[in-house]
């Protein structure tokens, strides 16, 4: 298999699929819609997890673990929730197999039918609130600030690695509060954490906003989201934080005695990000040579490739490479010295480019003589000859520079691809010709949003939290509007 990728310009979708495969991130399994996350892809996800987990814990959250299975009846308890989640899901109906009569394998044992079917969790509000019922009696038991890292399953007909798979990995926070205000604060705080993570670690600029009723989480009173713009001009929802009001508390009868001894229903939030972030990361930064990773999430920061003829040269170069490695590791910089003799330098260069390693060091006999190394940046593809003296400082500052540069580049792209439209035709024209985010007036009704979606294939990504007040007319109905909302075609 050649290492080259389709060009993004030619076919963004094929480019993405080829990159995921050739950078060894993930692959389809034989099980419909389920992916295998390969070690290199998983290492990136682990870095994401570690940072998010740290941020959750720093804001007072604790991890726990709830069952994979949800009794079917639980899903029906919250009316909106069941509409949203009880449809395409994996249903466990039996708990035993037996040898088939023809002796060729196993069959489901009809005697082992469950009394009530179990659903593989598509999200865990129901099973968690059913537990919170027993955990909460008084205001002293609140707040409960719990997160869980888990796998979830939503049966998807059309799947794409990381972006939409039947099984995916995620974290889901589920918090319980004594007051509405505190729950809203929590919802907004977690949105802030997602935005901070996206921008600081993924180097991915995001818009923060509210979903319209239409796009809201099933069971939420308000869904906050972060949205980011991919290089093909399509938007991607990167994380959501839901203010659930008292819906789940009422559905599962979760009340507490307040400080006056009065019984009240508990207020709830839930919030999650998933392996979908891997897709967002790829489509934000990568190029036609492969993956481009922000240093803060890269499993390898620096790859060192020796350029040599014969074992003697390799020994000399290895000495220098190992010295550099040791010094870099002392600064928590992750280095790989690739002295594999079976591969040529050119192959290795292409490999580390494909895998998005932020910096590459090449060391040849000339470098030994001159006390230099050749340093190549993955983001700009620049090469520079650098003195070994002070190399560690240089690398440390370059990694920060790359991190910043990736963010700035993506930010510029987002800004350049955020436009205004004042008519439905204008919206369609921008979407067809440029893509991107389009700010337009909307009358605030579900009907109009759906009509616009029908005509344009674009949805309202969000109502920006910091939207300017601007009097205008809905581009579809002509009715008055007080601010523009963000339209885009989306993943």
Q: Would you tell me which residues interact with its own copies (CB under 8 A)?
A: 27, 29-31, 34-39, 42-43, 46, 62-73, 75-76, 82, 86-98, 104-106, 108, 117-120, 127, 130-131, 140, 146, 150-151, 153, 155, 167, 169, 342
Nearer of residues 106 and 412 to its own copies, judged by Cβ: 106
Q: Which two structure tokens, joined as six digits, stand for 9?
A: 């310009």
Nearer of residues 130 and 417 to its own copies, judged by Cβ: 130
- List, in sequence order, the alpha helices (H) in 269-370: 276-285, 310-330, 345-354, 365-370
Nearer of residues 88 and 288 to its own copies, judged by Cβ: 88
Those residues with Cβ within 8 angstroms of residue 475's Cβ, 6 or more apart along the chain or in another chain = 421, 422, 423, 424, 426, 427, 440, 441, 442, 452
Q: Closest separation between CB of residue 350 and its own copies, Å? A: 17
Q: Which two structure tokens, joined as six digits, stand for 453?
A: 């979606």
Nearest CA among 349, 350, 409 for reference residue 379: 409
State residue 329 phi and psi, 5-degree precision: -60, -35
Nearer of residues 50 and 465 to its own copies, judged by Cβ: 50
Q: Closest separation between CB of residue 458 and its own copies, Å? A: 28
Tokens 């869980």 correspond to: 148
The 10 Å Cβ neighbour count of residue 463 is 16
Q: Closest separation between CB of residue 252 and its own copies, Å? A: 11
Nearer of residues 118 and 206 to its own copies, judged by Cβ: 118
Q: Which two structure tokens, joined as six digits, stand for 111?
A: 């005697």
Nearest CA among 413, 46, 454 for reference residue 235: 413
CA–CA dist 198, 192 (Å, integer) = 10
The 8-class DSSP code of residue 213 comes to G
Q: Closest separation between CB of residue 321 and its own copies, Å? A: 20
The sign one gets for the Cα dihedral 375, 381, 384, 389 is negative
Q: Closest separation between CB of residue 322 and its own copies, Å? A: 18
Nearer of residues 95 and 326 to its own copies, judged by Cβ: 95
Nearer of residues 105 and 310 to its own copies, judged by Cβ: 105
Q: Which two structure tokens, joined as six digits, stand for 221?
A: 């009173």
Q: Closest separation between CB of residue 88 and its own copies, Å? A: 6
CA 173 to chain centre: 15
Rg (CA), the chain: 26
Nearer of residues 342 and 382 to its own copies, judged by Cβ: 342
CA–CA dist 361, 376 (Å, integer) = 6
Q: Closest separation between CB of residue 169 and its own copies, Å? A: 7
Contact 435, 489 (CB under 8 A): yes
User: Which helix (H) or strand (E) is 409 found in, with range?
Assistant: helix 391-416
CA–CA dist 185, 308 (Å, integer) = 59
The 8-class DSSP code of residue 300 comes to -
Q: Which two structure tokens, joined as six digits, stand for 315?
A: 């020994």
Q: Closest separation between CB of residue 354 and its own copies, Å? A: 17
Nearer of residues 31 and 384 to its own copies, judged by Cβ: 31
Nearer of residues 150 and 210 to its own copies, judged by Cβ: 150
CA–CA dist 456, 435 (Å, integer) = 11
Q: Closest separation between CB of residue 175 and its own copies, Å? A: 12
Q: Closest separation between CB of residue 313 and its own copies, Å? A: 23
């Amino acid at each position: 298999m050649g290492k080259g990728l389709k060009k993004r310009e030619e076919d963004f979708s094929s480019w993405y699929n080829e990159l995921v495969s050739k950078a060894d991130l993930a692959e389809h399994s034989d099980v419909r819609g389920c992916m295998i996350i390969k070690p290199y892809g998983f290492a990136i996800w682990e870095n994401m997890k570690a940072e998010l987990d740290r941020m959750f814990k720093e804001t007072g959250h604790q991890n726990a673990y709830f069952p994979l299975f949800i009794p079917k009846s639980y899903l029906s308890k919250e009316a909106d929730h069941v509409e949203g989640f009880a449809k395409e899901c994996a249903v466990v109906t039996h708990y035993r197999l037996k040898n088939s009569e023809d002796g060729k394998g196993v069959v489901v044992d009809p005697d082992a039918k469950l009394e009530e079917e179990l659903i593989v969790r598509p999200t865990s509000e129901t099973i968690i609130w059913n537990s919170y019922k027993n955990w909460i009696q008084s205001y002293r038991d609140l707040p409960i600030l719990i997160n869980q890292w888990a796998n979830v399953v939503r049966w998807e007909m059309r799947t794409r690695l990381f972006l939409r798979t039947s099984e995916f990995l995620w974290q889901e926070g589920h918090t319980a509060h004594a007051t509405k205000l505190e729950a809203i604060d929590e919802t907004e705080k977690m949105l802030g954490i997602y935005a901070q993570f996206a921008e600081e670690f993924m180097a991915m600029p995001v818009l923060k906003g509210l979903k319209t009723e239409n796009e809201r989480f099933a069971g939420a009173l308000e869904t906050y989201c972060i949205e980011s713009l991919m290089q093909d001009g399509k938007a991607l929802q990167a994380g959501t934080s839901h203010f659930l009001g008292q819906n789940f508390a009422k559905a599962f009868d979760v009340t507490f005695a307040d400080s006056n001894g009065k019984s009240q229903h508990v207020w709830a939030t839930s919030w999650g990000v998933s392996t979908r972030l891997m897709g967002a990361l790829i489509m934000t930064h990568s190029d036609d040579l492969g993956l481009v990773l922000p240093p803060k999430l890269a499993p390898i920061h620096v790859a060192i490739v020796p350029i040599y003829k014969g074992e003697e040269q390799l020994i000399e170069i290895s000495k220098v490479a190992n010295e550099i490695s040791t010094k870099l590791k002392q600064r928590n910089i992750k280095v790989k010295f690739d002295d594999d003799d079976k591969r040529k330098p050119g192959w290795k260069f292409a490999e580390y480019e494909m895998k998005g390693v932020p910096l590459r060091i090449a060391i040849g006999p000339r470098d030994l003589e001159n006390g230099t190394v050749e340093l190549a940046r993955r983001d700009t593809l620049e090469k520079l000859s650098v003195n070994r003296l002070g190399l560690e400082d240089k690398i440390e500052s370059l990694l920060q520079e790359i991190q910043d540069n990736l963010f700035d580049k993506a930010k510029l792209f987002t800004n350049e691809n955020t436009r205004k439209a004042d008519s439905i035709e204008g919206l369609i024209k921008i979407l067809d010709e440029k893509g991107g985010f389009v700010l337009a007036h909307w009358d605030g009704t579900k009907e109009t949003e759906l009509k616009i979606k029908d005509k344009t294939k674009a949805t309202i990504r969000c109502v920006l939290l910091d939207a300017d007040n601007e009097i205008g007319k809905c581009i579809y109905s002509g009715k008055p509007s007080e601010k523009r909302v963000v339209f885009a075609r989306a993943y």
